[in-house]
Amino acid sequence: MDRPKPPVLRPVVWLGNSEEKLRDFPDGAQKLLGDELQLIQFGGMPKDAKPFKGVGSGVLEIALRYASDAYRVVLAVQIGTRIYVLHAFQKKSKKGIATPKRDVDLIKKRYTEGQELGREHEKTKTN
């Protein structure tokens, strides 16, 4: 009888100061977002994740409301075998639900960096 294969944990690459920013969130928000990120690492899709439009294919935003504040983690899941965390921030928009332009610009820049890192990683990995 064939045994089921154990799940593969995809590695996470933190771009820029995204890990540091996530660590600045309240402990409860860090735990919830970390759990959702781990679910993605194992191939799942958290209920709080949705496509982040306007950047590229496979870019997701995990949106969390915690203690009356809004926290976001944006990641790229379709660049090779790794997950690239592009940005983590507390949303403080006074203008509705739109993500501030400076955050979108940073996400786009880091997405390009992630694509470059992904290409380099695919070239250098050995099978």
- Pairing, β 49-51 against β 59-66: antiparallel
Q: What is the largest CA-CA distance in the chain?
A: 58
Identify the helix (H) or strand (E) that includes residue 85. strand 82-91
**Total number of domains in the chain:** 1
Q: Could you tell me the pTM of the whole model?
A: 0.88
The DSSP secondary-structure symbol of 96 reads: T
Q: Is residue 2 part of a domain?
A: no
User: Shortest CA distance to 9 belongs to which of 37, 33, 41?
Assistant: 41
Query: Residue 6 — left, alpha, or beta (φ > 0 → left; ψ -120 to 50 → alpha)?
Result: beta
Q: What mean pLDDT value characterizes the chain?
A: 90
Q: Is residue 53 part of a domain?
A: yes
CA distance 97 to 100: 9
- Banded pLDDT at 1 (limits 50, 70, 90): low
CA distance 67 to 29: 9
Q: Is residue 1 part of a domain?
A: no
Give residue 127's identity as a one-letter amino acid code: N
pLDDT at 45: 92
pLDDT tens for 79-113 read: 988 999 999 999 876 666 788 899 999 999 999 99
Residues spanned by the domain of 46: 12-124
- The enclosing domain of 118 has a CATH number of 3.30.2310.20
